[in-house]
Amino acid sequence: MNQRYQQQRRALGSEAVITLVAAVGDPRVKAIFERAWEMVEDFEQRFSRFLPSSELSWLNQSDGARAPATPAMQRVAQTARDYAERSDGLFSPLLLGELQRAGYVGSFGVLDPAADIDLRDRGVQAAADIEIGDDWVMIPAGSALDFGGIGKGYLLDQLGDYLAGHGVADFWLSLGGDMLVDGHDLGSTDGWSIAVADAADPAADAARLTSGGRHLAAATSGTVKRRGARPDGAAWHHIIDPRTGRPAETDVLTATVVAPSATAADVWAKCLVIGGSAAAKTFAAGHGITDAYLQLSSKPRRLSIGKLITKA
Amino acid sequence: MYKYVITNSELTSRNVLALTLKPVSRPDLFPYKAGQYVTIGWKHGERPTPVRCFSLVTSPTQRGAVKIAMTLQGDFTKAAATLAIGQEVTLRGPFGDFTLEPEASGHVMIAGGIGITPLLSMLRYATDRGVKLPLTLLYGCRSQDDVSFLPEFDELCRLNPRLAVVYAITSGPVDKLAGRQVVSGYIDRDLLKKAGQRQGPGAEFYICGPPKFMTAMNETLEELGVGSGYIHTESFSQGKLRGQTGLYAGIYALTALAIVGGVGLMSAKQLASNFLNSQNSAPAVTAAPTDGGSAGAGVGSGVGTGSGAGATPSAVDTSTPAPTPYYQPRTKVS
């Protein structure tokens, strides 16, 4: 007889949830949770830009020079560069300076904003200029790296691989609302039922999808959450358009993407927001996105791609 | 006094000898704190040799053996280099209060040459104990061939993502340190400043090395505004042991002076308590069944500690007891 096991914590400046289905009293569960949380914590310690002690912070202090890098850093940097090259210019991991200039200087989570390193002097550089060697990474001089647009997805994929590799067939994971699921919920033959938050009312559901037992990820990106006003009164949000270096001017309030990997879902959701609704279907077709759901600031208010995500 | 035997003797750099020592019998295992030192001597024929003080390189978390290290200069250390495996030696101690400050928000360790030994012990201890604080080691050496314990530091960096090790090499090539954080030159003001910034306010600074090195580091830190209460130093210097008579009279020893600014002695119990507290402050990882079953609710981490339960029920087998509360799979805007 199986049961659900679930744990929740604050991590990566937001909420993290691990849920898995396993036999009642399964002795492996405790160790699996422990290791999974260790992975989350290690990732945060290594890749957070809000922690001056993180490897990412050290790398950003070494712009223009080969900085010794761990294999983990090399893999994430490589993944980010690859996605940047495939994104038609809509995704870049080198926007941190612009992001801070736009007004996003503190963490929105529990981390101390004072710990954020001021990198507002850094500019936008081509992600293709990130160099990765055998044991080093070099970011272009005057740039700063940030995995805020890809990190949660990447970590979710790592966690999913870990669970699958340890015989956990049925689980769902959430990092700040980015989701990765596999297998089935307890007693279900349809997999997992996933709700999509409403752009206007975060407590309400705008849409829903059912995983059907497949390994899939869903991520929602948007301009409605992390936004504010700068001291000069100008409005800002945290989705930066690499093409302009400024908060994206877009009619997409939120974009939810379903993809085989959380990394892809995370990145492509941002690209759909930045690209706007007019370009969404073309971008989706060109990047293998079969299912997406966009909530728009103007009529028709929503745009569906594929049939998996349905209005709630 | 404890009787130990040498189980390994090796060069950890071109002129640093490390001796691994195991107790002759289990009762001779002695408790110590990371960063402390011992005296060592042995019998040459029937006559006892002089004794010298050396920091323990190992951590109390490493059971069964201790290790000391010494720069090969002078008759004593050269004699130590000739000792055979199995040679019995006598240890006294542990001594010193150059140990980890329990109330720190981070630790910056600054080593010059053989001054690395107590700091390696502290870093090993912090890593093995899972201390959740940023750690920075600035390790100054004349050349890359003078860097000791390189494999140990590589291992610690792999085990501890909070640890950053920076090698400051005064002269010569640094190719053997490829893949690590290396600066050519002395540990200077800029490097100390960066290390301090990495740790944030409230960090403790530990300095160990030759007297001139210690003075320079101490002065620079004070110029940077680090309060003396946050600076801990251990000076390796040659001095005459005071008040010793008999066998030890007139023997010159390497004396470790602990000049600990504003920090009192910390008992092993206090230290352990601090680290236990730091670990207990982290959320527990007990697996919590969502049906509130016998596996126990996670203390501070499992279900029931937040307010993010989904607004709609998921497609679950309704015969399962309703979880209270259960976080529903739901994407959120990020």
Q: Give the model confidence (pLDDT) of A67-123 as tens digits.
A: 888 899 999 999 999 999 999 999 999 988 777 776 554 433 222 333 456 777 787
Q: Which of A9, A45, A199 sits opposite B162 (nearest CB)?
A: A45
Decide if A55 and B162 are in contact by the 8 Å CB cutoff: no
Which chain B residue shows the shortest CA-CA distance from A65? B181
Tokens of A71: 């294999």
**B292 or B70, higher pLDDT:** B70
Q: How far apart are CA A80 and CA A71, in angstroms?
A: 14
Decide if A57 and B314 are in contact by the 8 Å CB cutoff: no
Asked whether residue A304 carries a pLDDT value surpassing 90, the answer given is yes
Specify the long-range contacts of residues A200-204, CB closer than 8 Å, at least 24 apart: A200/A224, A200/A253, A202/B332, A202/B333, A203/B311, A204/B311
Asked whether residue A220 carries a pLDDT value surpassing 90, the answer given is yes
Decide if B293 and A24 are in contact by the 8 Å CB cutoff: yes
The DSSP symbol for B289 reads: B
Asked whether residue B282 carries a pLDDT value surpassing 90, the answer given is no
The band of A48, judged by pLDDT with boundaries at 50, 70 and 90, is confident
Find chain B residues with C-beta within 8 A of A195's C-beta. Answer: 310-312, 328-331
The DSSP symbol for A226 reads: S
Beta bridge partners, B5, equal: B22, B88
Asked whether residue B258 carries a pLDDT value surpassing 80, the answer given is no
Read off the pLDDT of residues A138-190 as tens digits, 9 standing for 90 and up: 999 999 998 887 999 999 999 999 999 999 999 999 998 899 999 999 989 99
* Tokens 């893999």 found at: A75
The band of B302, judged by pLDDT with boundaries at 50, 70 and 90, is very low
Q: Which of A136, A178, A188 sits opposite B334 (nearest CB)?
A: A178
Find chain B residues with C-beta within 8 A of A197's C-beta. Answer: 330-333
Asked whether residue B85 carries a pLDDT value surpassing 50, the answer given is yes
Specify the pLDDT at position A305. 97
Q: Which of B179, B293, B328 sits opposite A136 (nearest CB)?
A: B179
Whether the CB-CB separation of A48 and A111 falls below 8 Å is answered with yes
**Longest Cα–Cα distance in chain A:** 60
The band of A232, judged by pLDDT with boundaries at 50, 70 and 90, is low
Indicate the range of A104-108, A160-164, B44-48, B281-285 predicted with least confidence. B281-285
**What ipTM did this prediction achieve?**
0.80
The band of B27, judged by pLDDT with boundaries at 50, 70 and 90, is low
**Does B23 sit behind a cis peptide bond, omega within 30 degrees of 0 on the bond before it?**
no
**A268 or B25, higher pLDDT:** A268
Asked whether residue A273 carries a pLDDT value surpassing 60, the answer given is yes
Specify the pLDDT at position A228. 52
Whether the CB-CB separation of A205 and A198 falls below 8 Å is answered with yes
Asked whether residue B296 carries a pLDDT value surpassing 60, the answer given is no
Out of A130-134, B94-98, B180-184, give the one with best mean pLDDT: A130-134
Specify the pLDDT at position A188. 92
Decide if A196 and B200 are in contact by the 8 Å CB cutoff: no
| Residue A62: closest CA among A4, A144, A3 | A144
Scanning B127-146 for CB atoms below 8 A from A yields: 134, 136
Give me the helices (H) in A10-110, please.
Answer: 28-47, 55-60, 71-86, 96-102
Mean pLDDT of A272-286: 97
When the pLDDT of each residue in chain B is averaged and rounded to a whole number, the result is: 72
> Is the full-model pTM beyond 0.80?
no
Mean pLDDT of B58-71: 91
**B246 or B40, higher pLDDT:** B40
Find chain B residues with C-beta within 8 A of A187's C-beta. Answer: 316-320
Read off the pLDDT of residues B215-250 as tens digits, 9 standing for 90 and up: 999 999 998 888 888 899 887 644 332 222 222 222
Specify the pLDDT at position B276. 25
> DSSP 3-state assignment of B91?
strand
Specify the pLDDT at position A291. 97
Handedness of CA A104, A105, A110, A111 (dihedral sign): positive
Specify the pLDDT at position B295. 27
Find chain A residues with C-beta within 8 A of B334's C-beta. Answer: 14, 152, 176-178, 219-221, 225, 266
Residues of chain B with pLDDT > 90, as a percent, come to: 34
When the pLDDT of each residue in chain A is averaged and rounded to a whole number, the result is: 87
Specify the pLDDT at position B286. 26
| Residue B168: closest CA among B190, B145, B149, B141 | B141
Q: How far apart are CA B58 and CA B18, in angstroms?
A: 11
Strands (E), chain A: 2-11, 14-23, 67-68, 131-132, 136-138, 171-175, 178-182, 193-197, 205-210, 216-222, 227-229, 235-237, 240-241, 246-247, 252-259, 291-296, 302-305, 310-311
Which chain A residue shows the shortest CA-CA distance from B160? A42
Find chain A residues with C-beta within 8 A of B327's C-beta. Answer: 6, 8, 17, 19, 174
* Tokens 């959701």 found at: A269
Which chain B residue shows the shortest CA-CA distance from A14? B334
The DSSP symbol for B27 reads: G
Q: How far apart are CA A303 and CA B137, in angstroms?
A: 54
Read off the pLDDT of residues B156-168 as tens digits, 9 standing for 90 and up: 988 888 888 899 9
Specify the pLDDT at position A104. 55
The band of B298, judged by pLDDT with boundaries at 50, 70 and 90, is very low
Which chain A residue shows the shortest CA-CA distance from B289? A5
Specify the pLDDT at position B93. 86
Find chain B residues with C-beta within 8 A of A199's C-beta. Answer: 333
Scanning B253-282 for CB atoms below 8 A from A yields: none
Specify the pLDDT at position B172. 83
Counting every residue written for chain B, the total comes to 334
Specify the pLDDT at position B299. 24
Residues of chain A with pLDDT > 70, as a percent, come to: 90
**B203 or A280, higher pLDDT:** A280
- CB count within 10 Å of CB B72 equals 15
Distance from CA of B12 to the nearest CA of A (A): 23
Q: How far apart are CA B123 and CA B139, in angstroms?
A: 13
Indicate the range of A94-108, A114-128, A195-209, A257-271 predicted with least confidence. A94-108
Specify the pLDDT at position A28. 93
Read off the pLDDT of residues A116-128 as tens digits, 9 standing for 90 and up: 567 777 877 889 9
Q: How far apart are CA A247 and CA A241, in angstroms?
A: 6
Strands (E), A191-243: 193-197, 205-210, 216-222, 227-229, 235-237, 240-241
Q: Provide the pairing of β-strand A193-197 with A240-241.
A: unpaired
Residues of chain B with pLDDT > 70, as a percent, come to: 72
B254: left (phi over 0), alpha (psi -120 to 50) or beta: beta
Indicate the range of A197-211, B259-273, B320-334 predicted with least confidence. B259-273
The band of A236, judged by pLDDT with boundaries at 50, 70 and 90, is low
Q: Any CB–CB contact under 8 A between B199 and chain A?
A: yes
Q: Which of B162, B286, B318 sits opposite A53 (nearest CB)?
A: B162
Find chain A residues with C-beta within 8 A of B312's C-beta. Answer: 195, 205, 208, 312
Mean pLDDT of A51-70: 83
Tell which of A14, A18, A19 to mutate to test the B interface (max B CBs under 10 Å): A19
- CB count within 10 Å of CB B210 equals 15
Specify the pLDDT at position A184. 96
Decide if A55 and B161 are in contact by the 8 Å CB cutoff: yes
